[in-house]
A and B are shown apart, each in its own frame.
Chain A
Amino acid sequence: MNFTRLVLRNIERSAFRSWIILMCAALVAFFVVAATLVINGSRESMSRARARLGADIIVVPDGAREGMENAFLMGAPVSLWMPAYVTIEVAEIEGVEAVSPQLFLFTLAGATCCAVPEMFMVAYVPETDFTIKPWLLQHIPDGLKLGEAVGGSYVFVPTGYAKILIYGYTIDLRGNLDSTGTNIDQTMFFTFETADDISRLSEFQAEKIMEIPPDSVSAVMVKTNPNADTHTIAQRITSTIPDVDAVESSNLFQSQRTRLDGIFKASVALSGIIWILSILLIVLIFSIVVNERRREIGVLRALGARRWTVAQSLLAEAIVLALFGGGVGIGLALLGVSLFREAIINLIGLPFLAPTPMSIVTIIFEGLVLALLTVIPAALLPTLRISMIEPALAMRK
């Protein structure tokens, strides 16, 4: 017989009360943890995507900003073309240190020529590229040759194939980039030379030609001088070169970030409402239970329980229920977010990166603290009230 056993027996005894408190703690933890996983994951995704693109400014055809962002984040097919000479014009703008053009291409969805589902592809110029070059120098120092590619973390050679087949063209996958949680993870990168080769051969090998308009590029990646003001340079580009939009890296995914802010605010508001309602419900339930056990508490005091012992025993019940309920809520949130990841991405229209083991530990800790902060303050008032009462009065019916 010990104090813990007494606490556990009391929890068992007040089954209804215990379930309600457990559910409240679970609900609060579930909601906040799930929202945190999605929102933090989404922020991290966009941040990594910006870092992966590696440019200070991206120049795209005017009005194509959102299409480009959606292609990188969600893999939405996009067709962006502007004259290749824009690259030279951008390079001549004051404050621009380096430029490199890119082609944005898509595989054919469900075509027999392609062994992969619809996939975003980016072609770059090895001589001028500075976006994936740092990664290539570290992992594939000799760079990509004709017919070779690197992919995002989810790009792999399908089972039964030795290479990746697109537009009837076989591509040798040389490596995988780190995960970003965005569509970049499902993007393949190869050289302009490879892109031209695929396009040329698709005429004979594929159901449909992979068209690359002559002397066209999809985007120009811009690196500015370290001391230059990126915003000024972006303005200079749009005012000097007609029919282009210069997207600053810091403004990249602006509409998605605005949407995420909205989701964050709604989550905070909803979490607050759930938290307050849970506290009120627990105060009510705990008051009823404490009142039911009033005489028993009087008996405990008569048998030698200190005020603090009585409070401790009731708070220990609350803590056990909070931790257990919090654990259940956190577990369900982790499981739910992981199982329904695709559905959530489609629902909110934003990608999100799966949490790292370290961030899971932090989230579990935060969820449990929140569950405790829900149950303990709610239990505190009735607990203190009953523990302060004169034992003789507590024993009176």
Chain B
Amino acid sequence: MIELKNVSKLYSVKNRPGVSAVHDVSLNVANGEFVIITGRSGSGKTTLLNLIAGLARPTAGQVLLDDVEVWKLPDDQQALMRNHKIGFIFQFPSLIPSLNVLENVLLPTILGDKQDKDSAHDRAVKLLEEVGLADKLDSLPRQLSAGQQQRVVIARALINQPELLLADEPTSNLDEQTEAEVMTLLKEMFSKKGITVLLVTHTDELIHYGTRAIRMASGAIVNPPVQVQVTT
């Protein structure tokens, strides 16, 4: 599903030498994998996720999604690809503050070219039921706890029935108990919906939720691969 061939990303800084965020990374992720990418802060995990999603342009190398080179697509098609195929969970609060829970979940449906509004609405309500927020449809993000907000983000990420879910430190702002709840939810969604998941985390404690783990340091993948003991 995902293929990275010798991908590098150099961020240019004014009047200074560029900062290499990702360096010569090659990676294959097959359909149905739950890959955890770990590494310290600044190791290039988020940049790698952004490169896979087409949110950052690689300085060198190729990023292929379903055998299509992402950065060879025009902006319109890149955007459609993200809208149809990829669900995002961000590290930072990413809900639109002025939209209520239901509207936030429906947001990706108005950005794409899918026109079936009734079924999108039904799907959004069902997803919010699945993440345990059926009674919060009209609430605004500020009326929810951090854990509840992240559940809304998960529902939003799944609204267009993506093939790939990219999660960037989805539990970094949550307490231990909420972190476990969110990870369990993600794992459930992975099992039930059969989607491919790439999850970035700075801690090794979440590795056991995945089917494979990759460690990054200084913008490169560290070998040998991390051993994963899969939870059930």
Contact = CB atoms under 8 A, between A and B. Distances in A.
Given A13-B97, A299-B94, A392-B50, A1 B110 contact: yes
Interface string A304-335: 11111100000000000000000000000000
Contacts of A304: 79-80, 82-84, 108, 111-112, 160
B202 interface: no
Contacts of A9: 96, 98-99
Interface stretch (B33-41, B53-61, B192-200): B53-61
Contacts of A309: 79, 111
A296 to B, nearest CB: 6
Given A303-B83, A307-B75, A390 B56 contact: yes
A306 B106 contact: no
Contacts, number: 82
Contacts of B209: none
Sorting the interface of chain A by its residue count into under 10, 10 to 19, 20 to 34 or 35 or more gives: 20 to 34
A32 to B, nearest CB: 33
Contacts of A392: 47, 50, 55-56
A298 B93 CA distance: 12
A273 interface: no
Interface of B is mostly: helix
Contacts of A305: 79, 111
Interface in A269-316: 295-296, 298-309
Interface string B104-135: 00111111100000000000000000000000
Contact of B98 (A10, A302, A303, A391): A10
A9 B112 CA distance: 20
A347 interface: no
Contacts of A307: 75, 79
Interface residues of B, number: 32
A10 B103 CA distance: 13
A7 to B, nearest CB: 11
Interface in B16-47: 47
B158 to A, nearest CB: 12
Interface in A339-397: 390-393, 395, 397
B111 A391 contact: no
A296 B80 contact: no
B111 A1 contact: no
A73 B47 CA distance: 76
A1 B97 contact: no
- In this complex, which of A299, A303, A306 has the most chain B Cβ atoms within 10 angstroms of its Cβ? A303
A303 B82 contact: yes
A306 B94 CA distance: 18
A391 B55 contact: yes
Nearest to A3: B110
A119 B160 CA distance: 78
B47 to A, nearest CB: 7
Given A13-B98, A392-B55, A306 B76 contact: yes
Contact of B55 (A5, A295, A395): A395
A1 B137 CA distance: 13
Contacts of B112: 304
B148 to A, nearest CB: 18
Interface string A30-62: 000000000000000000000000000000000
8 contacts: A1-B99, A3-B110, A10-B98, A12-B98, A301-B79, A304-B80, A306-B80, A395-B92
